Amino acid sequence: MTRFVVAPQWQGSSSSRAMQLIDGAEAIAGDLPRARTVFLDPLPEAGDAQGTEVHRLSALVRMRGIIEQALTPADGAAEHTVVVGGDCGVALAAVSAVADDGLAVVWLDAHADLNTPASSPSGAFHGMVLRAIIGDGEALLRREPGIPASRIVLAGTRTLDAEEYRLVTDNDMTRLAPDALADPDALAEAVLATGATRVFVHVDLDVLDPAEITGVALPEPFGARSADVVASLRRLRERMPLAGASLTEFSPSSPAAAVDDLGTILRIVGALA
């Protein structure tokens, strides 16, 4: 049985709409099963960099600890947990809770999120979180040991900064274009090829084409179709155990706009749950 942890973290975002990530998390939470959902309060403080190049670092470190604590179920009965953000930074705690030697990570995102604090153009952690998951970057946030790059699958990713492109190329990291997801077997085959025995799936809603969703702050053209994402996730789950998941970056411009997007979002939630 799937559990949900709703973590309305906004401090990792570079967007002027960052605070609306709280509204987005609340909108999604309203349609989740109440008995199986834990809603974490947003932190009252913005946080500070503490002398690093990561904006709002102190709040991010604190929220990571809160999420990790919430991911420890009281009875161990949950099949897996879906962490609903907030910004992409919540995926760090979600991956850390289930990481082992057999875990692969699928990163469904328009952006690679593979910058270091030094290479990041914004200083926002949501552009560094996958780099932290593979064990690089700011010491207070990175995973140790990291998930090997050979077990990362980028899917729907179409915007990379120079440092991210170098990392992907140098490590021969698996990357699926948005249109590759039209074949529902493509994602599962890519994950199986890593040799993993379980998979964690991260979904940043900007992986979708802007025609499919309006409530994302950093849309990129030529994205994936929601039907393709849902079919790919369902096929992946048929072929490999799902260790956990995260769904992030819903920042609707208004309550009415949130309603317009919820049907699409909940179909993705259903594929993960």
> What are the DSSP calls for 73-90, one per residue?
-SSS--SEEEEEESSTTH
First to last CA, the chain: 8
Given pLDDT bands bounded at 50, 70 and 90, which one contains residue 75? Answer: low
Question: What integer is the mean pLDDT of 82-95?
Answer: 98
Question: Would you state the pLDDT for residue 244?
Answer: 97
Instruction: Of 217, 222, 225, give the one whose Cα is nearest residue 127.
Output: 217
Question: Would you state the pLDDT for residue 262?
Answer: 97
**Alpha carbons 217 and 10: distance in angstroms, whole number:** 12
268 and 231 in contact (C-beta within 8 Å)? no
pLDDT digits 0-9 by tens, 171-188: 999 999 999 999 999 999
**Alpha carbons 138 and 234: distance in angstroms, whole number:** 34
The number of beta carbons lying within 10 Å of the beta carbon of residue 29 is: 16
pLDDT digits 0-9 by tens, 28-46: 999 999 999 999 999 999 9
Instruction: Of 156, 208, 206, give the one whose Cα is nearest residue 180.
Output: 156
Taking the CA atoms of residue 177, residue 165, residue 52 and residue 8 in that order, the dihedral angle to the nearest 10 degrees is: 0
What pTM value is reported for the model? 0.97
Question: Would you state the pLDDT for residue 74?
Answer: 54
Question: Would you state the pLDDT for residue 77?
Answer: 59
Residue % of the chain over a pLDDT of 70 = 98
pLDDT digits 0-9 by tens, 211-263: 999 999 999 999 999 999 999 999 999 999 999 999 999 999 988 889 999 99
Question: What integer is the mean pLDDT of 201-214?
Answer: 97
Would you tell me the crossing angle of helices 57-70 and 90-98 to the nearest 10 degrees? Answer: 40
218 and 110 in contact (C-beta within 8 Å)? yes
Q: Is the pLDDT of residue 117 over 70?
A: yes
Instruction: Extract the tokens encoding 234.
Output: 């369902």
Instruction: Extract the tokens encoding 171.
Output: 């490590």
**Alpha carbons 193 and 175: distance in angstroms, whole number:** 12
Q: Is the pLDDT of residue 107 over 80?
A: yes
Residue % of the chain over a pLDDT of 90 = 95
